[in-house]
């Protein structure tokens, strides 16, 4: 039987897409620079379905690209064929290095008809909310904010809240180890995953439940952030965090990003750990203001949105301290959101920067560098300068408390020459992050976007260790080839 016939047989015709117009939707993710159409798209509804699909892909030499909502900013869902699958026969006996060499030279990244996109979005059930054990059990296709809504009124929440939370899935959040505005106080996704189930490259099912705390190897830690290259996550046990009693949201206007970053550092040095400290520079503020008419001053060089949370009794004091420090270190205007609506509006402004960017330019690349907090002003300045060097505009948002900056390189993807300049500018900005003692990714992952920079960030021995881990999980290179770890 043909591959498509096998898939339809296993999953039902309604769960397999194969016409060119249907497949075109899955040729890229939120990283817009590259596109490749997959050979097929499938929608499993259970772990067993995923097992069947993986076994069929092995039999037909087809690479498997897991996909949640496709909001990856790093090209993690781009369908790329596997260099190794033609050598399936060698895999059982261990791949000879000549197979790797031959495969690398001849097949990597060619046609994508031998790729399959495995959509996890129909595995979208919240299986259990267990408040007594402060955890929930979910399928990978549950949307982050869907879990948040289900927990309303319980006094608990799932802390990781990427700005994409109304669309991105918990499986995608786990596979990318997503962060978000509240990472400063609450940590990234790996800090909130207690256990998981995953389908392995040979079709076996791995289950590391939440009670296996004495496990000698941290398999959950290895799989979180592995971007679909080691296994397909099919179930998650997630930690539920008590919802803070109250919060205050403060908006501080500064003349420049330098002043705003300096105030951020001073707040942390003073011993206050806000839940979030988000920075928007002048360039992005213009787009946000046009969209929401919030009333940011036209001459603002940067705005910080600062949230403090916790027990109501201590919040006024924290808010006064933050306000005083912002004023002392250069804020011209500091105001507190006075109603729930105003708080929501401020957060909407920040969370919608990705959407409002369309007002500035047809396309953009959102970078995801991270540097020591004190180096943030330098990096923001350099990002703008590097943009100028390539004759492109760069605007900035940042999770300023974490030193995580998101320069947005603006361009027009219909012009190939501009695409080349935008990619080069992005690479140079990330190299600048490495030079400043930081890293090429804080939360978006490596995908295809930063693959070439991995050897700048890591020593050959580090990369070799990563390759060996990958090989141990997936000796035939069936899962998400061409991503994350350079082969
Ligand atoms: C407007 C916007 C704002 C964003 N804000 C943030 C932010 O604040 N913080 C942040 O961290 N990221 C952010 N992102 C990036 C993105 O939303 C996150 O990386 C998110 O976690 C991806 O989830 P997803 O469901 O869309 O995954 P996808 O994009 O579908 O997949 C991402 C990667 O995970 C793999 N994958 C997906 N599901 C599985 C699975 N079940 N098993 C194994 N591998 C899997 C894919 O193969 C791919 O490599 C933003 C993106 C956009 C467009």
> How confident is the model at residue 291, as a pLDDT?
84
pLDDT (mean) for 390-401 = 96
Instruction: Measure the N-to-C terminal CA separation of the chain; round to a whole number of Å.
Output: 33
CA distance 261 to 257: 6
Q: What angle do CA 477, 168, 310 make, to 5 degrees?
A: 125
How confident is the model over 302-329, as pLDDT tens digits?
A: 999 999 999 999 999 999 999 999 999 9
Two structure tokens written together for 1: 């039987």
> How confident is the model at residue 329, as a pLDDT?
92
Closest atom of ligand 1 to CA, residue 188: 11
Letter string b/e over residues 199-227, b meaning 16 or more CB atoms within 10 A of that residue's CB: bbbbeebbebebeeeeeeeebbeebbbbb
Domains 246-354 and 361-442 share a fold: yes
Was domain 361-442 assigned CATH 3.30.70.2740? yes
CA distance 23 to 460: 37
Q: What are phi and psi of 136, to 5 degrees?
A: -130, 150
Which residues, in sequence order, are bridge partners of residue 249?
Answer: 307
Nearest to 137 by CA among 234, 225, 223, 49: 234
pLDDT (mean) for 445-458 = 95
Neighbours of 166 (CB within 10 A): 13
Q: Are strands 241-242 and 16-17 parallel, antiparallel or unpaired?
A: unpaired
CA distance 184 to 198: 29
Confidence class for position 143, pLDDT limits 50, 70, 90: very high
Confidence class for position 98, pLDDT limits 50, 70, 90: very low
Two structure tokens written together for 187: 């940590």
CATH number of this structure's domain 3-120+467-473, picked from the four choices 3.30.43.10, 2.170.190.11, 3.40.50.970, 3.40.50.1010: 3.30.43.10
Closest atom of ligand 1 to CA, residue 228: 44
How confident is the model over 406-428, as pLDDT tens digits?
A: 999 999 999 999 999 999 999 99
Q: Cα–Cα distances in Å, from 397 out to 1, 46, 301, 319?
A: 51, 39, 12, 23
Cβ of 257 less than 6 Å from ligand 1: no
Letter string b/e over residues 312-348, b meaning 16 or more CB atoms within 10 A of that residue's CB: eeebeebbeebbebbeebbbeebebbeeeeebeebbe
Please, what CATH class does the domain formed by 126-242 belong to? alpha beta
Two structure tokens written together for 227: 């971007």
CA distance 457 to 20: 39
Question: From atom 50 of ligand 1, which residue's Cα is the shortest distance away?
Answer: 164
- Cut 0.85: pTM above it: yes
Closest atom of ligand 1 to CA, residue 170: 25
Cβ of 171 less than 6 Å from ligand 1: yes
Cβ of 406 less than 6 Å from ligand 1: no
Two structure tokens written together for 40: 């097929």
Share of the chain above pLDDT 90, in %: 82
Cβ of 168 less than 6 Å from ligand 1: yes
pLDDT (mean) for 396-401 = 95
DSSP 45-113: -SHHHHHHHHHHHHHHT-EEEEESS---SS-TT-----SSGGGHHHHTT---HHHHHHHHHHTTT--ST
Q: Where are the domains of the chain?
A: 3-120+467-473, 126-242, 246-354, 361-442
366 or 97, greater pLDDT: 366
Two structure tokens written together for 437: 């003692």
Was domain 246-354 assigned CATH 3.30.420.40? no
CA distance 81 to 64: 9
User: Are the beta carbons of 231 and 473 closer than 8 angstroms?
Assistant: yes
User: Are the beta carbons of 427 and 435 closer than 8 angstroms?
Assistant: no
- Rg of the chain taking only CA atoms, in angstroms: 23
Mutate to test the pocket of ligand 1, among 26, 38, 50, 68 (most ligand atoms within 8 A of CB): 68
Closest atom of ligand 1 to CA, residue 180: 8
Question: From atom 53 of ligand 1, which residue's Cα is the shortest distance away?
Answer: 71
Cβ of 441 less than 6 Å from ligand 1: no
Share of the chain above pLDDT 70, in %: 93
> How confident is the model at residue 108, as a pLDDT?
36
Ligand 1 centroid, distance to 150 Cα (angstroms): 21
Neighbours of 372 (CB within 10 A): 12
- Which of 21-35, 83-97, 148-162, 271-285 shows the lowest mean pLDDT across its residues? 83-97
> How confident is the model at residue 101, as a pLDDT?
40
Confidence class for position 80, pLDDT limits 50, 70, 90: very high
Q: What is the DSSP letter of 124?
A: -
> How confident is the model at residue 222, as a pLDDT?
96
Cβ of 209 less than 6 Å from ligand 1: no
> How confident is the model at residue 213, as a pLDDT?
61
Mutate to test the pocket of ligand 1, among 168, 220, 225 (most ligand atoms within 8 A of CB): 168
Closest atom of ligand 1 to CA, residue 354: 1
Cβ of 65 less than 6 Å from ligand 1: yes
Cβ of 162 less than 6 Å from ligand 1: yes
Residue corresponding to tokens 């039987």: 1
CA distance 269 to 261: 12
pLDDT (mean) for 430-447 = 96
């Amino acid at each position: 039987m043909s591959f498509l016939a096998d898939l339809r047989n296993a999953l039902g015709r309604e769960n397999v897409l194969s016409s060119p117009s249907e497949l075109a939707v899955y040729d890229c993710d939120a990283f817009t620079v590259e596109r490749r159409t997959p050979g097929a798209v499938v929608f499993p509804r259970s772990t067993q379905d995923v097992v069947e699909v993986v076994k069929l892909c092995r039999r037909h030499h087809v690479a498997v690209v897991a996909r949640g909502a496709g909001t990856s900013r790093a090209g993690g869902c781009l369908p790329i064929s596997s260099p190794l699958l033609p050598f399936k026969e060698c895999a059982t006996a261990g791949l000879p290095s000549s197979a790797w060499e031959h495969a690398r030279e001849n097949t990597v990244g060619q046609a994508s008809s031998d790729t399959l996109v495995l959509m996890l979005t129909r595995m979208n059930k919240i299986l259990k909310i267990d408040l007594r054990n402060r955890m929930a059990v979910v399928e990978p296709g549950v949307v982050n904010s869907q879990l948040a809504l289900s927990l309303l009124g319980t006094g608990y929440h799932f802390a990781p809240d990427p700005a994409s939370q109304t669309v991105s899935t918990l499986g995608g959040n786990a596979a990318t180890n997503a962060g978000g505005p509240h990472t400063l106080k609450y940590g990234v996704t790996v800090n909130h995953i207690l256990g998981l189930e995953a389908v392995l490259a040979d079709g076996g099912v791995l289950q590391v439940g939440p009670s296996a705390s004495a496990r000698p190897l941290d398999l959950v830690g290895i799989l979180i952030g592995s971007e679909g290259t080691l296994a397909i996550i099919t179930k998650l046990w997630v930690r539920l965090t008590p919802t803070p009693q109250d919060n205050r949201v403060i908006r501080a206007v500064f003349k420049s990003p330098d002043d705003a970053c300096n105030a951020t550092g001073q707040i942390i040095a003073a011993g206050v750990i806000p839940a979030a400290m988000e920075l928007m520079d002048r360039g992005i503020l213009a787009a946000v203001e046009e969209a929401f008419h919030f009333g940011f001053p036209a001459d603002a060089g940067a705005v910080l949105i600062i949230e403090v949370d916790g027990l109501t009794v201590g919040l006024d004091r924290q808010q006064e301290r933050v306000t005083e420090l912002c004023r002392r270190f250069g804020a011209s205007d500091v105001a507190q959101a006075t109603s729930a609506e105003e708080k929501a509006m401020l957060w909407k402004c920040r969370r919608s920067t990705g959407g409002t960017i369309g007002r500035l330019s047809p396309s953009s690349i959102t970078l995801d560098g991270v540097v020591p907090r004190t180096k943030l002003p330098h990096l923001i300045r350099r990002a703008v300068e590097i943009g100028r060097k390539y004759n492109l505009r760069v605007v900035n948002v940042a999770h300023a408390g974490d030193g995580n900056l998101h320069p947005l390189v603006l361009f027009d993807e219909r012009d190939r020459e501009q695409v080349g300049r935008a990619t080069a500018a992005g690479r140079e900005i990330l190299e600048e992050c490495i030079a400043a003692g930081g890293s090429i990714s804080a939360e978006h992952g490596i995908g295809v976007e930063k693959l070439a920079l991995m050897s700048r960030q890591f020593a050959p021995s580090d990369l070799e260790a990563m390759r060996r881990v990958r090989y141990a999980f997936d000796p035939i290179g069936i899962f998400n080839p061409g991503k994350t770890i350079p082969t």
